[in-house]
Amino acid sequence: MTLRLVFEWLSLFLLMGLGVYTMWIIKNEKKTYIKNAREIHFKHFKLFTPSWWGEIPTNSENELCFKRLDTRYEWEARFIWNPIPDNMDLVELFKSLIHARKILFDEETCIIYNPSDFKVGELITSGRFEMVRLEGTATADEQDRLYYDAFLVREIKTGAFLYAESKSSVLNGLIEGPYFEEVMTRIELI
């Protein structure tokens, strides 16, 4: 065997080993997220965010923004608190907020979660809040393809609400989307 052939086989095995290691890391990332989650306080809420989400400064005390800083993923999550009461029907309010962002969902990939779908978690079982969610692939501004996941959490008594959104390219939504969902389903009151 020549030295070149040995080097090629060694390179192949190292590449395969790296692939197996990467798959193992991805498989265990959800457990790692829960164990290493950072507790962020925002308005009435405790958010348990993945350690790899980096907080990005915003121009508003009513807005919180995260990006993944350890990669070049096209992804961001925003949490926007609106203290102004809005007693419009929850689903209609949600539709108007999405429409204002010029987002058109693909009907075949869109999943709508109604308030009755959220019966667990401290936030909803407290009886103080109601929640709706919409996720799927969409088009923004009639040209940009994206994966969009949004939650609307409204305080029943005051009408104030939290609008949380995760925007990314279609492929990156499959990577960060489950973590955004975990953050929102684990949300607690301060």
Q: With a cut of 80, say whether residue 173 has pLDDT above it.
A: no
Same-domain pairing of 24 and 48:
no
Residue 5 to residues 18, 131, 155, 172, Cα–Cα distance (Å):
20, 60, 67, 37
Q: What pLDDT is recorded for position 150?
A: 94
Q: Are residues 69 and 54 in the same domain?
A: yes
Tell me, what's the pLDDT at 161?
Answer: 95
Are residues 18 and 65 located together in one domain of the fold? no
15 lies in which domain range?
1-36
Averaged pLDDT, 159-181 = 86
Q: For residues 132 and 86, what is the distance between their CA atoms, to the nearest angstrom?
A: 15
Q: How is the chain split among helix, strand and coil, in percent rounded to 5?
A: 35, 35, 30
**pLDDT class for 143, splitting at 50, 70, 90?**
confident
pLDDT band of 111, cuts 50, 70, 90 = confident
Report pLDDT for 165.
Answer: 96
- Going from the C-alpha of 164 to that of each of 3, 117, 128, 135, 151, the distances in angstroms are 57, 17, 18, 12, 5
The answer to whether residues 59 and 149 belong to one domain is: yes
| Widest Cα–Cα separation across the chain | 78
Same domain, 48 and 81: yes
Confidence of residue 57 (pLDDT cuts 50, 70, 90): very high
Percentage of residues of the chain with pLDDT beyond 70:
92
Structural contact between residues 156 and 130, judged by C-beta atoms closer than 8 angstroms: yes
> Looking at the structure, do residues 95 and 117 belong to the same domain, yes or no?
yes
73 in the same domain as 20: no
Q: Which residue has the higher pLDDT, 27 or 68?
A: 68
DSSP code, position 116: G
Q: Which residues pair with 63 in a beta bridge?
A: 80
Same domain? For 31 and 49 the reply is no
Question: Token pair 């279609």 is at which residue?
Answer: 170
